[in-house]
Amino acid sequence: MLKIKNLSFSYLEKPILTNLNFTVKPGEQLAIIGESGCGKSTLLKLIYGEYDLNKGQIFWKKTKVLGPEYNLVVGYDFMKYVAQEFDLMPFTSVEENIGKFLSNFFPEEKKIRTAELIKVVELESVAKTKVKLLSGGQKQRVALARALAKEPEILLLDEPFSHIDNFKKQSLRRSIFSYLKEKNITCIVATHDKNDVLGFADTLMLLNNQKIEVKGAPKALYNNPKTPLIASFFGEFNTINNQIVYAHQLEVVPESDLKATVIQSYFNGKNYLIKAELNSENVFFEHKTELKIEEVICLVIN
């Protein structure tokens, strides 16, 4: 189990994180979200031992995680960290990059293990290609596979799919997170993308104003967002009569007390996102067809 006790950290006397307390169970997948600059990446680096704490303690099981003040070499054998900079070997192949961390004493096992990881990150077609010739998204997948090579007990991922295009992103998420569950590898992922969370994370933690604003199961937080900030992570929302309402929860009906004037219709594939004015405030809702500008419609909250 990972235990964070009273963690505080500052950059040049500027507080970044203040008095954080939380735990992560073995095999649990925790997603850390929050606005840019809230401390997501910093928290991962602290857990990895890249920085020294100003206050508090970090434990993985019985091992106390310490920073560079105590460790000549940053990091621990049981933990891997995939940053937004990949630190790969550009002039060697994909399979050589991944196999670098596997023992040469067992060449057949090394070959099988490398092939398994290449399949997990869906890079079979470029296995023998030099890394320098890969796209940014492919390099990110090599970094993921390399971090998994020795099956760490805990994996730290910083925006792990940010460079990967939408054609591959969905299937890759399923492959990576299913593999982590199968191997019971604890995973902490810092992300701005709700699709990295919904359907995969066991727990969601929102950082705001240096602290943990909310922590819980993604489904529970989605269904009952306590603040506009958590609602904004999941999608378009409105505040109507002090109630947080997602765009998909508003429905056009023949008659109601909520009368709005259409401002714009945005096609988004399965439907339209409609921007309208309600009580001098902008509201957004989904509708199956485009609506005319300045059309007056009635809404209800489902």
Indicate the average pLDDT of the chain: 93
pTM score above 0.85: yes
Among the ranges given (25-29, 137-141, 202-206, 282-286), the one the predictor scored with the smallest mean pLDDT: 137-141
- pLDDT for res 292: 95
Q: Quick check: 52 and 68 in contact, CB under 8 A?
A: yes
Q: Which of 208, 113, 101 is nearest to 147 (CA)?
A: 101
- pLDDT for res 85: 76
Give me the residue spans of the domains in the chain.
2-223, 236-301
CB atoms within 10 A of CB 136: 11
**Angle between the 107-120 and 166-182 helix axes, to the nearest 10 degrees?**
130
State the average pLDDT over residues 42-61. 96
- pLDDT for res 210: 96
Q: What are phi and psi of 210, to 5 degrees?
A: 75, 0
- pLDDT for res 238: 96
Place domain 236-301 in its CATH homologous superfamily.
Nucleic acid-binding proteins (2.40.50.140)
Rounded Cα–Cα distance for residues 262 and 277 (Å) = 7
The string of pLDDT tens digits covering residues 104-153 is 888 888 899 999 999 999 999 999 999 999 998 899 999 999 999 889 99
- pLDDT for res 162: 85
Fold classification of 2-223 (topology level): Rossmann fold (3.40.50)
